[in-house]
Amino acid sequence: MKEYIISADIISFIFMAVILCGVFMSSLKNRKTSTKMFIILLFTDLIAIIVDVCSYITEGNIQNDECLIILNLFAYAFAVVLIDIFSFYMISVIRERITISYKILIPVMVVSVLNYLMIIIGSFNEKLFIVENHFYQTGEWAIGTYLFAILYILYLWGILIKYYKELRIKFVLGLSTYLFFPFLFLIGVILFKIPVFTYASASVSLLIIYVTIQAQTITEVLLREKILNEVTHLDSLTGLQNRRAYTELLQGEEKSTKKAVAFFDLNGLKFTNDTYGHAAGDILIKNFSDLLLHYFSQNEIFRISGDEFVVIKQNVHFDEFEETILSLHTTLEAHNRIAAIGYVTGEKDSLLQLIHTAEKNMYLDKNKYYEETGKIRRT
């Protein structure tokens, strides 16, 4: 039977490690408290599984009984630690939906202290377990730790039942699974003397929690981060990158790459605003941004002020870029030259230097526009 428990622990370890990697690969900038607690729960379960496996492997295979005593002491203690951490995890999940104080866990902490004392004392007075001839035997106090664990579970179930109306049924069922499988095994141990699959059952419960609760929580946070990123980095009128995104790009530019910059300034935006109103000006801006999107990707175009747009391309083929600019210039001519354009390519210069050069070239084009059309430039 020992081989079955070890096998179950190893399989559980693999599953927990995969889940832990999945949580970390989500790369959340601002993890919720519940997600942080879940990570701690996973780490603790992994350590507990290692201790449990070591206690079974060393049994009968080492001459040092003290080592076996310590391993079994920690194996019992980690079971209590897992319940304590899960208690805080459960309340943190509930607190994300309703107002509830961590003080509700005071009874759990009181029972935990009593359980820890029983485990420590029982390990050394041979009441909890006995190590004899390098083999482990359950002591008379072991049933006490099982009963304490059942008290934890019943109390936590009581909390879930109390607040089930305020919580989603999926969250209640997901949290209940962590309690259900250990509860089932504890009843089996007490009534039918079946082997203790403590950490394997806890791991199965964590897997279900991850599927029913944590995966959704992570998805929700990632979605919020995406929305926040769009709000802070995208221009609300055009949907293009805004000045903040532009500044961040300049701060993190790639060195020694072929770069190309195009600088645009709308012609006659002030005249349109003054004559037809700002709504008409917004339409002009939106139409021009849509025009740029025919030639460049959205993440390459930045609206840096009311009438100024910058296109930045890195790792670019100069010939292709110049062909695109030539085609765009022809289109601008066909649209009454609604924008002045200046562009430049380079490799050694910084993006900021290229932008300044492109801006100077844009002003040359703008001056040419006013000279050729005879229109009065408004400031």
DSSP 128: S
Residues 6 or more apart whose CB falls under 8 angstroms from that of 142 comprise: 122, 128, 129
Q: How many independent structural domains does the chain possess?
A: 2
Residue 48 CA to residue 85 CA, distance in Å, equals 13
Q: Please check whether residues 23 and 114 belong to one and the same domain.
A: yes
Residue where one domain finishes, among candidates 232, 266, 291:
232
Same domain, 171 and 271: no
Same domain assignment for residues 30 and 169: yes
Tell me if 379 is assigned to some domain. no
Asked whether residue 59 falls in the same domain as residue 94, the answer is: yes
| CATH code, domain carrying 148 | 1.20.1070
Statement to judge: residues 247 and 189 lie in one domain: no
Question: Which residues have C-beta within 8 Å of that of residue 17, sequence separation ≥ 6?
Answer: 46
Q: Are residues 138 and 14 in the same domain?
A: yes
- CATH number of the CATH domain containing 351: 3.30.70.270
| Domain of 218, in residue numbers | 2-232
How far from 238 is each of 276, 290, 294, CA to CA, in Å? Answer: 20, 8, 14
User: What pLDDT tens digit does each residue of the chain (379 aa) get?
Assistant: 667 677 877 887 887 787 777 777 655 555 678 888 888 988 898 898 898 888 888 887 777 788 888 988 998 899 899 889 999 989 998 888 888 999 999 999 999 999 999 999 999 898 998 888 878 888 899 889 889 989 999 999 999 998 888 877 777 887 887 788 778 878 877 776 655 556 666 776 677 676 666 556 556 555 566 656 666 788 989 989 999 999 988 887 777 689 999 999 999 888 888 889 999 999 999 999 999 999 999 999 999 998 999 999 998 999 999 999 999 999 998 888 899 999 999 988 889 999 999 999 999 999 998 888 777 665 5
Do 171 and 258 share a domain, yes or no?
A: no
Same domain, 106 and 222: yes
pTM above 0.75, yes or no: no
The answer to whether the CB of 156 falls within 8 A of the CB of 87 is yes
Q: How far apart are CA 323 and CA 243, in angstroms?
A: 27
In a domain, 192, yes or no: yes
58 located within any domain: yes
Q: Which of 171, 199, 232 is a domain's end point?
A: 232
Non-local CB neighbours of 200 within 8 Å, separated by 6+ positions: 5, 8, 9, 11, 12
In a domain, 237, yes or no: no
Q: Do 251 and 225 have their domain in common?
A: no
Q: Domain check: are 152 and 269 in the same one?
A: no
**Quick one: 255 and 348 in the same domain?**
yes
Residue 165 has a pLDDT of 82
Distances (CA, A) of 79 to 72, 141, 255, 367: 11, 15, 53, 78
Contact at 8 Å (CB) between 299 and 241?
yes
Q: What is the pLDDT of residue 213?
A: 63
**Residue 121 sits in the same domain as residue 13:** yes
